[in-house]
């Protein structure tokens, strides 16, 4: 067992701690329960966001609703938001009524057994990943304090204007 650890540690030093720049290919579902491959996540050269949330997570909903309230400002940047629900089979049936009820303009995906969440190394929700138009991960944050969405919007605007934010 401990040899595996040695091996992986050596490997880590060998390749350097590269930042995660590509999205793992995991099969999850759309809000209509159709198959969706996460490798298809993109926004035709424009920036996009992957936001992990759940119907039982109050700060998650607060963040996405705050973005929804000011959606016209976001929309004009051309950004696309993938809202990945980690609700398991207990509460996954509540996702569709909630999302339609709130009239969210996001692309909502279902990760019922947290496979995509694990592949993206998400500890807790909410967790937000911001990618540039080329699909490079340029920023991420966990937890939500009201106002965080405005900082995120500023970053999105910079990316949309072709500026680097790394």
Partner 1 sequence: MQFFKGLVALVCLASTFPVLNAQNVDLSNVDLGSIHGNFDMNAQYYRKDSLIGAPDVPEQVLFNGFLNLNYTRGNFRAGLRYESYQNAMLGYSPEYKGNGIPYRYAGYKIGAFDFTAGNFYEQFGNGFALRTYFEPTLGVDNSIDGFRATYSDHGITIKTLIGTMRNYFTQSEGIVRGADMNFQLNDMVKSLADNPTKIQFGGAVTSRYQEDKNPDLILPENVMVLDGRFKISRKGFSIYSEYAYKYNDPSADNGYLYGNGQALEAGVGYAQRGFGINFTAHTLVNMAYRADRNNGSQFVEEYISYVPALTKPHSYLLMSTLYPYATQLQNEMAFQVDAVYKFKRNSLLGGKYGTTVFANFSWAQGLDTTNLDPENDPTRQGYTVNMFKPSASLFSPGDSSGLWHDFNVTITHKFSKEFSLKLTYQNLYYNIDILQGKPEYRGQNIKANVAVLEGKYRVTKTQTIRAEAQILLTEQHDGDWLAFVAEYTISPHWSFSILDQYNYGNKVPEKQIHYFTTAVGYTKKASRIMLSYGRQREGLFCVGGICRVVPASNGIKLTLSSTF
Q: Which stretch in 40-48, 73-81, 112-120, 158-166 sits in contact with partner 1 by CB under 8 A?
A: 112-120
> Among residues 43, 127, 138, 155, which is the contact residue for partner 1, using CB under 8 A?
127
Q: Give the contact letters, 56-95, x = binds to partner 1 (CB under 8 A), - = no.
A: xxx---x------x-----------------xxxxx-xx-
> Among residues 75, 76, 134, 150, which is the contact residue for partner 1, using CB under 8 A?
150
Q: Which stretch in 43-51, 73-81, 100-108, 154-162 sits in contact with partner 1 by CB under 8 A?
A: 100-108
List binders of partner 1 among 5-24 (CB under 8 A): 5-8, 10-22, 24
Task: Tell me the DSSP string of 56-97.
Answer: T-HHHHHHHHHHHHTHHHHHTTT-EEEEEE---TTTGGGHHH
Coil/strand/helix, residue 116: helix
> Among residues 72, 101, 162, 164, which is the contact residue for partner 1, using CB under 8 A?
101
Q: Which two tokens stand for residue 160?
A: 């949309």
Phi and psi torsions of 81, nearest 5° = -115, 120
Helix (H) or strand (E) holding 9: helix 2-15
Helix (H) or strand (E) holding 110: strand 107-110
């Amino acid at each position: 067992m401990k040899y595996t650890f040695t091996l992986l540690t050596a490997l880590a030093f060998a390749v350097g701690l590269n930042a995660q720049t590509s999205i793992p290919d995991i099969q999850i579902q759309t809000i209509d329960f159709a198959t969706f491959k996460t490798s298809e996540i993109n926004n035709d050269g424009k920036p996009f966001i992957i936001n992990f949330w759940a119907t039982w997570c109050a700060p998650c909903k607060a963040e996405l609703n705050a973005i929804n309230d000011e959606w016209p400002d976001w929309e004009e940047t051309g950004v696309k938001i993938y809202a990945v629900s980690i609700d398991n089979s207990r509460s996954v049936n509540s996702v569709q009524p909630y999302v339609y009820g709130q009239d969210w303009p996001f692309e909502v995906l279902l990760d019922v057994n947290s496979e995509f969440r694990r592949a993206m190394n998400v500890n807790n929700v909410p967790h937000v990943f911001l990618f540039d138009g080329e699909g490079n991960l340029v920023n991420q944050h966990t937890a939500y304090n009201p106002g965080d969405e405005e900082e995120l919007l500023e970053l999105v605007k910079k990316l949309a204007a072709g500026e680097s934010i790394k």
